[in-house]
Amino acid sequence: MPEHVGMPSLARLTLAPRALRRGAMPEPFSCGLYACAAYRGCAHACAYCDGRAEKYFVEGDFSNDVVARSNLPELLDAELGRLSDRGAVSLGSGVSDSYQRAEAELGITGACARVLAARGWPAVLITKSDLVLKDADAWAAVASASACQVSVTVTTLDESVRAAFEPGAVPSERRLEAIGRLKEGGCSVGVLAMPLLPYIGDSDDAFRAILRRAKAAGASFVMPGGLTLRPGRQKEHFFSVLAERDPGLVEPYRRLYAEERASGIGTYAYRAERSAAWDRILLEEGMPGLLPHAIHRRLLSPPDSLFILFCHMAELYQRRGIDARALRAATGRYAAWLAGLRARARRSKPRSGGGEAEAPGLFDAMAESSPVSDGPCRGLCESPVALLARAGLDSGDLERVIDNPKLFEFARRVLADGEVFDYSSLKLT
């Protein structure tokens, strides 16, 4: 169990038992393979934050009882040294912002950035604060050594709406101004326009204004999203804020979220209509609505990036009314195949150092022999052709798994020829 070691003014310090969590596959939303969070609870105090939902088990006052994992940088350094499956570390979580006020005092996220830079490990970060600029040099070093993707959340350009629903966060304009500095340092930067609050900030005009402001600031993508209200603490808190600011909207919101779904989504009719409108605006403005392939291929190993690409393509096709069921099925088979290869690779490699080190990953041995594998991003920049051989493509394994000649040829062009899929034109370039 973590030990409580102190009580600074903005967060209670604990010692975390470990730094990194990971799933079998990278996460399609952030494109991180590993996750790591310095804080639990969030002083940004967004009225809609689903970190308040019971399913996340954050006890106490969500925005005031913030817990900080003070030993995270040391743990991260040690754990990265033992990993061999390379892929971006995602800083932050659904129940905290890495650059909330406590970070100015404690500097835990900044120290993690310096560890990632020293280890040459790629990173992704989502924040609502320009406090990220205090570590601009460290994130630039991560970008230079490997790759760094920062997503800045902007849900409204109306400062009165921001103040009511994100009372502890900085004004949206300050977040947008941070984009330029981060880009100058070599980071790729996108904007998460979510949640766009129903009847408050979800109109065509409101979204187009955010998109254009993000584009002018240099964002590479703008990802819109609607509001979810999970039944229980999250929904109750949101309604209490809404009733105070916009009492006339309480009934429309009650109707929108009357289904009480566990996921918190609103009615299908509303979601379908708004999603279609935001997609149309993205197309008109020529702005990708998901983290582009050209970016995530630098954050993940080629096979993991291909998995994310399949997931994103299925989403994009569905939004454009193209039947994506065969692609989704192939994606499931591919993910299971890749997870199986990894598991077999782990079982077949002896542990070293008294069982402390993680077994070498699937692409480790290939990276050793790659002509471009000497640098810190070993395993990410390895020869795709060698990777195909290692992963069994040359023996037809992937062709069998994908079981779709057209999709296999697509995968071959991505992996072997290094082609990039454009999310606006839906074409390889």
Nearest distance, CB of residue 86 and ligand SF4, angstroms? 27
Stretch of 44-52, 253-261, 332-340, 383-391 contacting ligand SF4, by CB under 6 A? 44-52
Q: Which two tokens stand for residue 374?
A: 């000497």
Q: How far is CA 392 from CA 88, 333, 380, 397, in A?
A: 24, 15, 18, 5
Select from 128, 143, 141 the least CA-distant residue to 176. 128
Q: Is 46 in the site for ligand SF4 (CB under 6 A)?
A: yes
Contact in structure between 110 and 55 (CB atoms under 8 Å)? no
Q: Is 97 in the site for ligand SF4 (CB under 6 A)?
A: yes
User: Which CB, 149 or 151, lies closer to ligand SF4?
Assistant: 151
Stretch of 70-78, 89-97, 235-243, 351-359 contacting ligand SF4, by CB under 6 A? 89-97
Please count the residues of this chain forming the interface with ligand SF4, following the rule CB under 6 A. 10
User: Which CB, 151 or 301, lies closer to ligand SF4?
Assistant: 151
Q: Is 319 in the site for ligand SF4 (CB under 6 A)?
A: no
Q: Is 193 in the site for ligand SF4 (CB under 6 A)?
A: no
Nearest distance, CB of residue 96 and ligand SF4, angstroms? 5
Pick from 25, 38, 49, 89: which binds ligand SF4 (CB under 6 A)? 49
Burial class (CB in 10 A: 0-12, 13-18, 19+), 247: exposed
User: Which CB, 65 or 419, lies closer to ligand SF4?
Assistant: 65
Q: Is 44 in the site for ligand SF4 (CB under 6 A)?
A: yes
Backbone CA torsion sign across 10, 8, 19, 130: positive
Query: CA-to-CA distance for 11 and 103, rounded, in angstroms?
Result: 9
Stretch of 95-103, 131-139, 264-272, 294-302 contacting ligand SF4, by CB under 6 A? 95-103
User: Which CB, 108 or 367, lies closer to ligand SF4?
Assistant: 108
Q: Find residue 21's DSSP bridge partners.
A: 35
User: Which CB, 175 or 298, lies closer to ligand SF4?
Assistant: 175
Burial class (CB in 10 A: 0-12, 13-18, 19+), 117: buried
Stretch of 37-45, 285-293, 342-350, 398-406 contacting ligand SF4, by CB under 6 A? 37-45
Write out the binding residues for ligand SF4, residues 114-133 only, by CB under 6 A: 128
Nearest distance, CB of residue 302 and ligand SF4, angstroms? 31
Q: Is 96 in the site for ligand SF4 (CB under 6 A)?
A: yes
Write out the binding residues for ligand SF4, residues 196-215 only, by CB under 6 A: none
Nearest distance, CB of residue 67 and ligand SF4, angstroms? 13
Site residues for ligand SF4 per CB under 6 A? 42, 44-46, 49, 51, 95-97, 128
